[in-house]
Amino acid sequence: MPVNDPYNPYDPNRNTYAPHRDGAGVNRAALAIHTIADIAAGFLALWILLYLLDANQGNVFVGFVRSVADWLAGWSQDIFTMETEGLRVLLNYGLPAVIYLLLGHGIAARVRRI
């Protein structure tokens, strides 16, 4: 066996009962959580932008973004009910976007510490 091989079964200091901890799996899980939160917040932000810019509601892409944003923000619909429609959309879809970002990044940071 080569001398620079990190695995040495004859090492007396090697603990055979402790699993080999490789941070790659933990980092991948944290990255997945982080990415999912970013994508969710991105869809919500994109819908806010499309709405405020008066995008064509009959367009297939706009309809898709709206349906995804409605699903992601379903729990927060009509928390804010104000007369100004643009401000209502901004707050009702912006709040879940911020919460998804905070929770996703916080959970990812916690997973990385494991």
Residues 25-59 have pLDDT tens digits of 788 889 999 999 999 999 999 999 999 999 999 99
Q: For residue 105, what are the contacts with CB-CB under 8 A and spacing of at least 6?
A: 34, 37
Kindly state the average pLDDT of the residues 17-22. Answer: 50
User: In the prediction, which pLDDT does 6 show?
Assistant: 62
61 or 113: which carries more pLDDT confidence? 61
Phi-psi region of 33 (alpha: psi -120 to 50; beta: other; left: phi over 0): alpha
pTM of the model: 0.74
